[in-house]
Structure formats: structure tokens, C-alpha cells
Amino acid sequence: MIKDVRASLQFLTILPLGKLGDFPGHRMVSYFPVAGLILGLLLALIDRALQYIFPLSIVSLMDLVFLAVFTGALHLDGLADTADGLFSHRSREEALRIMKDSRVGTMGILALIFVLGAKWAGITSLHEHRVYYLILIPAYARGAFTIAIYFLGYIRPEGGTAKDFFVDNKSIGSLGWLLAPVAFSLWLGFRGIILNGVFIGIVILVTLYYKKKLGGITGDMLGALGEVTEAGLFLFAGIGV
């Protein structure tokens, strides 16, 4: 378990934990929410420290920088590539080819602007329970990966980095660690219940869209799902419902 948690952190972050040797793809998937909790805890600590120096709007911007840097901008890259491919109105094969292209198009740039803007607006608006949301939401976003991997198939025929996450004998037990952020969300009371509902809604909508559009998912699309989930939850939390 410790090795798999460490591997998930090595894959999802740039934390100095050594080189990723053995790639236990299907095993580390279960621990993505745990890696998200650790990332969220670091985010909350940095956010708290920066508030002694900067106003909240600047702190929120630096929170975005932290998330981008400490994840190696991996998911943001996936968001841009996915937007370029899915919104190109091309065939399935052509959309997959566009996502493979390292160049970023107009739709990718717009997706980055909208998602990062939504995150900043949401984080800036966080006041009550700010620490809880900063810890929980990165965990939910990484938990979205686990759900999508369980319910969708990998569709890139030539393979890719995320291919090892997908195995034929998927177990419902791989979703078990999603209960960790759910349990912590109970500290928020009724807001925590609503947060879980919003999370489920976002993941269902995006995965159904993926299923209808391309019939499955790729590594880039996983990254896009995480970014959209994170932005949506921060925006919801900032509303203060």
C-alpha cells in the first residue's frame, strides 16, 4: 500500500520522492484520492502561510500556481489537448489524432482560460471552511480519475501513458479510497452533502459526454476531467451555498 501511494504521488505530482521505477498502473489508481488529499493538505498549508503576506486575491492566484507547478501542469495539458480534439467537430480518429498533437489550438487556450478563471474565482470567494475545501477538492478531482477508469474503457489503440491504469478485471474495491474525502466532507455538514452531490453530477455528465463522443477515454481526457471537476467544485464552494 505504501509503495502504491508513493507511486501515485510520483505520477500525479513533482514531489521529490525519487524516480518512478516500477509502474503499478492498475494498483496506484485506487490511491489517487489519497494523493489528492496530500496535495490538498500542502495547498491549504501554503494558502494559510501566504495569507500573512498577501491579500486573498493574490493568495488565490498563487494557489493556482502551486497546483499547476506541483502537478507538472500534466492535467492542464490534458485539458487543452482534450478541448482541441473534442470540440474540433471531426471524426473519432481525427479527434484522437488532434489530442496527440503537442500544439495547442484555440479551443485548448479558451478551455484553459475558462477553467483557470473559474478556479481563481471560486478560491477567491472561499471564506468559511476555506481550509476544508482546499484540502478536499483536489482529492475529489483525483477521485474522479478513479471513477472514470472504472467505468470507461481506454480507446487509444496505439497505447499511451494511461493505458496501464485500465485492466479487464476491474474491482469495485478500487473505488474504496474515495470514501476518504467523503468522510472528511462530513465536517462541512449539509454543505458536505451538497458538495458530494455536485461532484457526482460533474463526473457523471463528463463521463457520459466522453462515452457519447468517443466511446471511452484517454489519458488527456482523464486530465481534463480532473481539471473540470476541480474548477466546478471550487466554483460551487465559492458560492457559499
In the chain, what are the helix, strand and coil shares in percent, each to the nearest 5? 75, 0, 25
Q: With 80 as the cut, is the pLDDT of residue 22 above it? A: no
Q: How do residues 68-115 score in pLDDT, each as one tens digit?
A: 999 999 899 999 999 999 998 888 889 999 998 888 889 999 999 999
Closest by alpha carbon to 233, among 201, 209, 207? 201
Question: How confident is the model at residue 167, as a pLDDT?
Answer: 72
Whole-number percent of the chain with pLDDT over 90: 66
- pLDDT of amino acid 17: 76
Q: What does the alpha-carbon distance between residue 141 and residue 229 come to, in Å, rounded to a whole number? A: 5
What mean pLDDT is reported for the chain?
Answer: 90
Average pLDDT of the residues in 8-20: 80
pTM: 0.92
Q: What is the pLDDT of residue 169?
A: 55
Which helix H or strand E contains 77, and what residues bound it?
helix 74-86
Place of cell 481539471: 227
- Contact present, 115 and 227 (Cβ < 8 Å): yes
AA letter at 10: Q
**Pick from 240, 233, 234: nearest CA to 200:** 233
Q: How far apart (Å, rounded) are the C-alpha atoms in residues 12 and 34?
A: 11
pLDDT above 60: residue 241: no
The residue behind cell 493556482 is 64
Report the C-alpha gap between 214 and 201 in whole angstroms. 20
pLDDT band at 15 (very low <50, low <70, confident <90, very high): confident
d(CA 7, CA 20): 7
Q: What is the pLDDT of residues 142-195, one digit of tens each?
A: 999 999 999 998 998 777 667 778 876 567 777 888 999 999 999 999 999 999
pLDDT tops 60 at residue 206:
yes
The confidence score (pLDDT) of residue 84 equals: 94
The pLDDT assigned to 25 comes to 67
pLDDT at 7: 83
pLDDT for the residue numbered 158: 74
- For 3-7, which contacts have Cβ atoms below 8 Å and span 24 or more sequence positions? 4/28, 4/30, 4/31, 5/31, 5/34, 5/35
pLDDT number for residue 43: 97
The whole-number pLDDT of residue 172 equals 76
pLDDT reported for residue 2: 80
Mean pLDDT on 57-76: 95
What pLDDT, on a 0 to 100 scale, did the predictor assign at position 36? 95
pLDDT of amino acid 60? 97
pLDDT of residue 28: 85
